[in-house]
């Protein structure tokens, strides 16, 4: 079984130009799985949607600390081109917009657009 999963991962990396650790295949929803890079030490919850060209990983070259990797909680949607970097947490039920860069913690039920422009659900509704 491990050999089969390894072949599947290799095929995905080769043809889709993506690096997605096998441990995430049960919890991720990948509508367009092209150009996605997810660090093997990142933590990803259930029902997380990741669109094309997303990067989830560390923001430094400090190889000693597991705290350098993001935690993505349940039911998060990450749109195309987003970068989530560093030892941060993206809270449950949040949305990371296209091409957003996230290097700060995101509270649950938030929207992130641009560079660390984080809005809570209440702030979005009040707009």
Q: Evaluate if residue 99 carries a pLDDT over 90.
A: yes
**What's the domain count of the chain?**
1
Q: Residue 73: which of 62, 64, 84, 61 has the closest Cα?
A: 84
CATH number for the domain spanning 65: value is: 2.160.10.10
Question: Which pLDDT score is estimated for 22?
Answer: 63
pLDDT tens readout for residues 6-65: 676 666 666 666 777 767 767 788 898 888 999 888 999 999 999 999 999 998 776 666
Tell me how far apart the alpha carbons of residues 86 and 92 are, in angstroms, rounded to a whole number. 18
Could you tell me if 92 and 80 are in contact, meaning their C-beta atoms sit under 8 angstroms apart? no
State pTM to two decimals.
0.82
**Domain residue limits at 96:** 2-126
- Tell me which DSSP letter residue 19 carries: B
The pLDDT of residue 21: 73
Whether 123 has a pLDDT exceeding 80, the answer reads no
């Amino acid at each position: 079984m491990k050999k089969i999963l390894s072949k599947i991962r290799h095929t995905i990396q080769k043809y889709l130009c993506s690096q997605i650790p096998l441990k995430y295949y049960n919890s991720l929803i990948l509508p367009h799985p092209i150009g996605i890079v997810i660090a093997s030490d990142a933590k990803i919850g259930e029902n997380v949607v990741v669109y094309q060209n997303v990067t989830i990983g560390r923001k430094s070259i400090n190889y000693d600390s597991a705290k350098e990797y993001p935690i993505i909680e349940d039911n998060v949607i990450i749109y195309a081109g987003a970068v989530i970097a560093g030892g941060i947490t993206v809270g449950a039920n949040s949305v990371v917009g296209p091409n957003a860069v996230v290097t700060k913690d995101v509270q649950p039920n938030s929207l992130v657009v641009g560079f660390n422009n984080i809005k809570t659900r209440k702030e979005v509704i009040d707009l």
